[in-house]
Amino acid sequence: MRLQETEGRHRSTTLRCWRTPIMARQRDFEGRTLAELPIEGDGVRIDLTAHEIADIELRFD
């Protein structure tokens, strides 16, 4: 999934899922892992910088 911060501000958000993910990571546009993302219950915590486009990969069991 691709997310974009559009207000020009640093934001921290939680992406809620219909199932609990077993793995979440932020990737670059070539598929390399930039960061493992913390899973909090049924959501994934994502920090975005101003105008950042983030490529997020989630895995479910």
**pLDDT truncated to tens, each residue of the chain (61 aa)?**
999 999 999 999 999 999 999 999 999 999 999 999 999 999 999 999 999 999 999 999 8
Q: Of 38, 41, 31, which is closest to residue 12 (Cα–Cα)?
A: 38
At 53 the pLDDT is 96
At 24 the pLDDT is 98
Listed by start position, the domains of the chain span: 2-60
At 15 the pLDDT is 95
At 22 the pLDDT is 96
C-beta separation of 28 from 55 below 8 A: yes
At 14 the pLDDT is 96
User: Which tokens belong to 47?
Assistant: 């920090």
Distance CA 60, CA 22 (A): 5
Q: What spatial distance separates the first Cα and last Cα of the chain, rounded to whole Å?
A: 18
